[in-house]
Structure 1
Amino acid sequence: MALPAAQPAEVLRAWQKDDLYEKQLAESLARLMPSHHAPKAAPLSSVLYKFFTTLKELQTLGEEYSGIVQVDETYHKLPTFTSRLLSILLSAFGENLTRKILRKAEKSVEHSTALRPEAQNTFLVIIKAVNNMVPQIESIHRALSYIKGGPLQIGKSITAIDYVHVRPAAAAYYAHLRLLGIVTLLHAFISCGQSIYQAKKNMDLMRDFPNEVDSSKSCVACLEEMLQPCVLHCGHIFCMNCCYGALETCALCRTPFTKNTVVPLMNYYPGQK
């Protein structure tokens, strides 16, 4: 007879406990690491914490506190070693990996000679919009977990890992948790809608003014408010962070440029008349 599926409230309690311990471990690791490697402490602490618990077929401290155990899709067996390892790596590095893939796709589109400039602009804006929506995808998954149950981490859902109770739950389904899930879901959808609207706005801008200086208050490259505008030798204007950052070709006309040809506009404000 299969054990009962874990209630969303118990899964949330376990996740909160484990997140607290992982953050404490990350703070300790950050003090031992050089300052320029300190950002790596958080994913490393997550991997170490799960290595000595989940990978050893043991409950984490949070799971033990809530009385839940990880199981595979049959609800009768522990997840395989491969599933557990993959879920740990996805939880620790999944977002960074996704962003790297998107950046690589963006560079491939920028340097593509097979695409027309209009198509390049469209693809670049779509990639930027998807990149902005990455945190919202995680929020949507978490909201669905609040509403219908299941793991909070996307990595566990991808590897078909779930939870069951090994002792009676402290409480039944919490109504306020379902309400929190609905509110979180609505907020995530609104944020995604804003990103899509901004992407469409910038696509319309590039279609209407493909060869003119951008007079919008938003930078076409990063879709953010343009601060410290700079002009390229092709005549198009972007914010300083993009010109001196990852941008290597003009996002409007695809003209290559070097950092020493970028000219800051000290007394120019986008949108002024």
Structure 2
Amino acid sequence: MARPAAQPAEVLRAWQKDDLYEKQLAESLSKLMPAQHAHKAAPLSSVLYRSFTTLKDLQTLGEEYSGIIQVDESYNKLPTFCARLMSILLSAFGETFTRQLIRNAEKSVERNGSLQPAAQNAFLVVLKAVNTMVPQIQSINRALCYIRGGPIQVGKTMTGIDYVHIRPAAAASYAHLRLLGFITLLHAFISCAQSVYQAKKYMDQLSEIPNEVDSSKSCVACLEEILQPCVLPCGHIFCFQCCYGALETCALCRSTFTKNTVVPLMNYYPGN
């Protein structure tokens, strides 16, 4: 017979306790690690903490405190080892892995010479918008946990892990937690809508930029007057500061170039 599902407040208390212990462990690890690797202490502490508890078929300290235990979708069996391992890795490295995938996709689009400049700009803007919305995935999952129950970590949700009681739960009203869930959900949707709006606004600005600047007196990259024109291997012209500064790909056709391939144009004045 399946045990009753854990209440949202119990799952939240367990997560808060575990998060506190993981932060304490991360603080201790960061003191032992070189300064350049200190940022890796947080995910490493999460993996270590869960490896000595969840992977060993044991409750975490937070789960023991709240009287809940992890189960699979049947609510009657412990999750498989693979499901528990995958949930740990997704919780510790899921956001970093997702951002790396988005960055790789951006580089692939920039290097794709078969795409039109307008299509490249559209893909890059959409990818940047998706990148800004990545943190909202966790917020939406947490809001749903407050409203209808379930695990707070996205990794557990993706691997089908849930919680049940192992001891009688105290009777309580969770209306305030559901209200917090709806507020959190609304905030996450508003943040996503803002990201989409900013992406659309930027795309509209790009559509107003001409494809060719040979007959213009303005640099498309910085929108300032071209005082020292330089030409890139693709044939597009920009100012000296942009070509030898932060610009790494052509702002019009997205083709890559190196600084030694930039050719300054002497006695050439755009627009004349």
TM normalised by structure 1 equals 0.83
After superposition, the Cα gap between the structure-2 partners of 1:171 and 1:214, relative to the gap in structure 1 and judged at 3 Å, is farther
What 5-or-longer segments of structure 1 have no aligned partner?
218-230, 263-273
In structure 1, the residue matched to 2:265 is none
Distance 1:93 1:32 in 2: 21
Distance 1:253 1:93 in 2: 34
Q: Give the match's secondary structure for 1:253.
A: coil
What 5-or-longer segments of structure 2 have no aligned partner?
214-218, 224-228, 232-236, 263-272
In the alignment, is the contact (CA less than 8 A) between 2:113 and 2:255 conserved in 1? no
In structure 2, the residue matched to 1:69 is 69
In the alignment, is the contact (CA less than 8 A) between 2:221 and 2:251 conserved in 1? no
In the alignment, is the contact (CA less than 8 A) between 2:221 and 2:238 conserved in 1? no
After superposition, the Cα gap between the structure-2 partners of 1:69 and 1:111, relative to the gap in structure 1 and judged at 3 Å, is same
In structure 2, the residue matched to 1:105 is 105
Deviations 1:18-75, CA, capped at 9 Å, x for gaps: 0000000000000000000000000000000000000000000000000000000000
In the alignment, is the contact (CA less than 8 A) between 1:2 and 1:75 conserved in 2? yes
In structure 2, the residue matched to 1:228 is none
* Structure 1 residue identity aligned to 2:92: A
In the alignment, is the contact (CA less than 8 A) between 2:132 and 2:195 conserved in 1? yes
In the alignment, is the contact (CA less than 8 A) between 2:87 and 2:155 conserved in 1? yes
Distance 1:12 1:128 in 2: 32
In structure 2, the residue matched to 1:178 is 178
Q: How far off its partner does 1:137 sit?
A: 1.4
In the alignment, is the contact (CA less than 8 A) between 2:220 and 2:251 conserved in 1? no
Distance 1:251 1:54 in 2: 49
TM normalised by structure 2 equals 0.83
Distance 1:236 1:128 in 2: 26
* Structure 1 residue identity aligned to 2:68: I
Q: How far off its partner does 1:236 sit?
A: 7.8
Rg bigger for which structure? 2
After superposition, the Cα gap between the structure-2 partners of 1:147 and 1:232, relative to the gap in structure 1 and judged at 3 Å, is farther
Counterparts of 1:45-194 in structure 2, within 5 Å, are: 45-194=45-194
Deviations 1:189-213, CA, capped at 9 Å, x for gaps: 1111110000001111111114464
Mapped pair 1:235 → 2:207:
no
Sequence identity of aligned pairs in percent? 71
Deviations 1:150-190, CA, capped at 9 Å, x for gaps: 00011101100000011112343411111111111111111
In the alignment, is the contact (CA less than 8 A) between 1:71 and 1:79 conserved in 2? yes
Distance 1:255 1:80 in 2: 48
Distance 2:76 2:99 in 1: 36
After superposition, the Cα gap between the structure-2 partners of 1:43 and 1:261, relative to the gap in structure 1 and judged at 3 Å, is farther
In structure 1, the residue matched to 2:7 is 7
Mapped pair 1:198 → 2:198:
yes
Distance 1:238 1:142 in 2: 46
After superposition, the Cα gap between the structure-2 partners of 1:170 and 1:253, relative to the gap in structure 1 and judged at 3 Å, is same
Q: Which moved more, 1:57-66 or 1:109-118?
A: 109-118
The size of the alignment, in residue pairs, is 244
Q: C-alpha root-mean-square deviation of aligned residues, in Å?
A: 2.5
